[in-house]
Amino acid sequence: MRSPFEPELLIEARGAVRIVTLNRPEALNAANEQLHDAVVGVWRHIAADPEARAVVLTGAGRAFSAGGDFNHLRAVRLDRDKRRSEIDGARALVTEMVDFPLPIVAAVNGPAVGLGCNLAVLSDVVLIAESAYMADPHVGVGLTAADGGAPTWPLLMGLLRAKEYLFTSERIPAQQAVALGLANRVVPDAELLEQSVALAAKFAAQPPQAIQSTKRVLNLHVKRAITGILEYALAEEFQSFDTPEHQAIVDKFLSKTDSKA
C-alpha cells in the first residue's frame, strides 16, 4: 500500500492491519516538518480506509523516534509563524490520535523520546522492546512539556512520578516503563513487530462497532483529563522557545554536530 506521506511515513497493509512506520532512520526518526505533518495527517487517511480495522505504529531502523530534529527546532525558534504552525500541529496530533476510531498498537522498537514518547502513550496498547527506552526531555532542552508528558503522564503513572520524570528528563528503561504504566509489556527485540501485528490482528477480528465505541468511551477519560491543560501547556511551550536557555541548548547541540561533519 503506497503512502501519500512517503518517504517520511510508510503504510503497509497486512490484512485488516495497517503498519505505519516512521521512516527517517538516518535521523533516528526525529521529526522534521514533513514527518510531523505526516503523523498528524495519517490518522484521518487510515480512518477513511474501509478495509482497515487496526494499526501498528513503529519506527524504521534502530529507533522508534528520537523526538524533534534540532535543525527543525532552530527553524521553529527563529520563525514565529512556523512556530505557531508547529504548536497547532502538536494540538492536532493529540486530538487526531485520541479521536482516531481504530485501535493503535505502538511497537516501540528503540528510543521513544519527546514526540516519539508522546506517539507511544497516545496509542491504545504499547509493546516495548527490551532494548528500548522512553523519555520526555522537553524540560532538559528548555521547553515546556506540553503535548505529551504533562497532559497525559499523570493519568498513566500518577502526578508525583510524572513530576519526577518530567522535571529530570531521565530515560525510562523498558521494564520501568511497564511498571510506571507507560507500556503494557516488554517483548524481545526480535519478536516485537510479530507480536504487535498479532495483537493488532486480534483487535481487528473483533466486532468493529463494539471495539470502536469502547475505545471512544475509554478515551473520554483522556479527553476530560487534558481539557484546558493542553491549551495552557502549548501556550507556555510557544513562549519557552524564546528563552535564552533553550536557544543556548539548541545552538550548542548543532555546533557539536557541525564540528563532526
Q: Where are the domains of the chain?
A: 7-191+200-257
pTM: 0.93
C-alpha cell at 15: 490484512
Superfamily of chain region 7-191+200-257 = 2-enoyl-CoA Hydratase; Chain A, domain 1 (3.90.226.10)
pLDDT tens digits for 138-182?
999 999 998 778 889 999 999 999 999 999 999 999 999 999 999
In Å, what is the CA distance from 233 to each residue of 89, 137, 161, 217, 229?
14, 15, 19, 25, 6
Range list of H helices, the chain: 33-47, 70-78, 80-99, 115-121, 149-157, 159-168, 174-180, 192-204, 208-226, 229-240, 244-260
Report the mean per-residue pLDDT for the chain: 93
pLDDT of residue 86 exceeding 90, the answer is no
Using alpha carbons only, what angle is made at residue 243 by residues 142 and 232, rounded to the nearest 5 degrees? 75
Q: Say how far apart CA 109 and CA 142 lie, in whole Å.
A: 27
**Stretch among 9-13, 81-85, 115-119 having the lowest mean pLDDT:** 81-85
Q: Say how far apart CA 94 and CA 109 lie, in whole Å.
A: 21
What integer pLDDT is reported at residue 71 of this predicted model? 81
- Average pLDDT (63-69) is 88
pLDDT of residue 79 exceeding 90, the answer is no
| % of the chain exceeding 90 in pLDDT | 80
What integer pLDDT is reported at residue 72 of this predicted model? 76
